[in-house]
Amino acid sequence: MPVPTAPAAPITTAKLSVIEQSKRLAAYTAVDQHILPKHKVIGIGSGSTVPYVVERIVQQGEELNKGRVFVPTGFQSKELIVESKLSLGDVDQFPTIDVTIDGADEVDSELNCIKGGGACHLREKVLAEAAETFVLVADYRKNVQYLGTNFPGVPIEVVPFAYAKVLQNLHHRLGSPNATLRMAKAKAGPVVSDNGNFIIDAPFSLEAMKDPFTLMARIKMLTGVVEVGLFCHMAQAAYFGNQDGSVTVKSRLEGEVIEETISPA
């Protein structure tokens, strides 16, 4: 893990809201620390912070980027790669990735996270596991002690014909009586993932969320579940942009998670 430093180039934030400034700070700092000249295969995640990741990568220059391949986690990141004129790859071509940078819905004190607010968590987890280094970027609202503090539930991708049975099991066996099928905002019916599956959002008690690995394993054992939006023991670092222009960095060092703050440049 590199020693954190301030971003290498000034970041103009005058036209951005505080939240957007925070996302951009986190993304720029993570790219400066982790997307190095030696890295040739790079995973690009999903979410509202990721456009700033791609923006900063583009700023590294055409000469550096022409020798790289970028692997997306879904439609959004694929479009960002194509629009930025970066080389597009797929995980079946590049099953080993140097670095994946992705957003997060929440990150706890042990670098576990919730993902799946954008219904991309199956492919996101594949790219996270494929990466030698997996890095999270987010704004200060996503930095929590325990998962489930602000984000309403655990996203669960399920095959369509099994969703009713999975819901029943979540309600009566796993302790999530308020688990619901995620419905689309601009169409009649449920959200459908890039893989053609449905998404269930399942809130759990704080006690259950204090042990996300056990909870993830229990959910994943349900027949019909494709993937669970709990990412446990996977990230090496997480970057959070703060309201005051600083960046909080949580990183794993010799099994321990340490937290540092990078002051504004």
The conformational region for residue 254 under phi > 0 = left, psi -120 to 50 = alpha, else beta, is: left
Residue 215 confidence (pLDDT): 98
Taking the CB of residue 34, how many other CB atoms lie within 10 A of it? 22
241 versus 152: which is more confidently predicted? 241
- Give this prediction's pTM: 0.92
Sketch the domain layout of the chain as residue ranges.
18-145+232-262, 154-229
What CATH number should be reported for the domain whose range is 18-145+232-262?
A: 3.40.50.1360
Q: Among candidates 10, 14, 101, which has minimal Cα distance to 49?
A: 101
Rounded CA-CA distance 34/238 in Å is 11
**Residue from 110, 124, 157, 227 carrying the catalytic annotation:** 124
Token readout for 106 is: 């929440």
Strand partners, 200: 156, 181
Taking the CB of residue 240, how many other CB atoms lie within 10 A of it? 28
Report domain 154-229's class.
Answer: alpha beta
Token readout for 260 is: 């540092």
Could you confirm whether 124 is annotated as catalytic?
yes
pLDDT digits (tens, 9 = 90+) for 95-152: 999 999 999 999 999 999 999 999 999 999 999 999 999 999 999 999 999 999 999 8
* SS3 state of residue 166: helix
Residue 8 confidence (pLDDT): 44
Residue 93 contacts residue 45 (beta carbons within 8 Å) = no
